[in-house]
Structure 1
Amino acid sequence: MKIVVTADTHLKEAGKLPSRLITELQSADVIVHAGDWKSYDVYEELSRYGDVIGVYGNIDGDDIREHLPAKQVFEIKGFRIGVIHGHGDKKTTEKRALEAFADDQPDVIIFGHSHIPLIRYFKKQLLLNPGSPTDKRTLPYYSFAILEITGEIHAELIFFDDKN
């Protein structure tokens, strides 16, 4: 099971997703977007490549909030995966994401907001922030993640320098 994980696309229109991301989307079983889509067109474009699971972020308007929740938990191959954007007041994005799932205790927590790619364990939970494929801010590379689930979980960050 190949899951392409992205967040913080910040696109006003679809069709501007980077070719590096599109290459991976073509073989995805599931696509997860952790918010800040900017336009519902991005959801529709991602849906052309596979099933999309997502949440809204702090910059998303009513068009997205009407279709997507703030937080979501789903299961794939026996692993529970939580998704949240991670915005809010005080604390770090990572801490807000962890607290949001304190009662759910998923195996994986996917979040965005900071645009800072991250893969690490906190206690027994895998934390995954894919960064952004379109808005790297001060980082040297754009990024997204691939999460492969078989009998085990394999997470990988993909870094690239051309967002075309």
Structure 2
Amino acid sequence: MKIGLLSDTHDYLNDQILRLLEGSDEIWHAGDFGTAQVSERLSQVAPLRGVYGNIDGQDIRQLYPKVLRFEANGLDVMMTHIGGYPGKYHPDVREEIKSDPPKLYITGHSHILKVMTDKNLNNLLHINPGAAGRHGFHKIRTMVRFAIAEGQVRDLQVVELGKRA
């Protein structure tokens, strides 16, 4: 199962991003879509899972939850927009992560690309794909692609999309 993961598009999608997502079995968006049009365009490429972010309006909030927990090809996944990272989990999700940790925890919001494990929680893998959009303080736009096989993340690839400006 091939996954294209992005976040913080802030109403920006270009042909490069769409081309890089082609061939994905699913696209996951970790919030701050910006508009429903971004969601619609991504859904035309592959089935889309997502969560709303702090800048998203009611149109997006009616389509996507704040926190999404699901299973994908045997992998327990939890995704939210503002969620912190290992050692600094956001209070909204801290208890669930500690009492029933997923294998993969995905967040957005910070615009900072992070891939790290939490050794204290059965090697929970945390991914923040950074920001694919042009709005924010990040210098390089990023996204992540990976595969899921037998409940494990495989072939993880960070994709640099170019400068923010």
| TM-score normalised by L of structure 1 | 0.85
- In the alignment, what sits opposite 1:131? 130
Runs of 4+ in 1 over 4 A off after TM superposition: none
Q: CA RMSD in A?
A: 2.0
Shift of 1:105: 1.0
> In the alignment, which residue of structure 2 is the partner of 1:161?
162
Q: Does the aligned pair in 1 maintain the 2:139–2:164 contact within 8 Å?
A: no
The one-letter code of the counterpart of 2:148 is: I
Amino acid at match of 1:49: V
Contact 1:136–1:142 (Cα < 8 Å) also in 2? no
How far off is 1:20 after superposition? 2.6
1:96 Cα offset (Å): 2.9
Tell me how far 1:103 sits from its aligned partner: 3.3
The match for 1:2 is 2
For 2:102 and 2:73, the matched residues in 1 are separated by 13
CA distance in 2, matches of 1:66, 1:160: 29
What displacement does 1:138 show?
A: 4.0
The 5 A counterparts of 1:5-154 are 5-11=5-11, 16-86=12-82, 93-94=84-85, 95-96=88-89, 99=94, 101-123=97-119, 124-135=123-134, 137-151=136-150, 152-154=152-154
SS of residue paired to 2:99: coil
Aligned-pair distance for 1:85?
Answer: 0.2
Contact 1:6–1:32 (8 Å) recurs in 2: yes
Decide whether aligned partners of structure 1 residues 129 and 78 sit closer, same or farther in structure 2, where only a CA change above 3 A counts: same
**Identical-residue share of aligned pairs (%):** 32
1:90-126 superposed Cα distances (whole Å, 9 cap, x missing partner) = xxx3223562633331100110000001111112110
Counterpart of 1:145, as a letter, is V
Q: Shift in Å at residue 136 of structure 1?
A: 6.7
With normalisation by structure 2, the TM-score equals: 0.85
Distance in structure 2 (CA, Å) of the matches to 1:7 and 1:138: 14
Structure 2, unaligned stretches of length 5 or more?
A: none
Q: Show CA shifts across 1:48-94 (max 9, x none).
A: 0111110011111111111111001111121111100016xxxxx32
Distance in 2, Cα, partners of 1:46 & 1:160: 16
Q: How many residues align?
A: 155
1:141 shift after superposition? 1.5
Q: Which has the higher strand share?
A: 2
Contact persistence 1:73–1:83 (CA under 8 A): yes
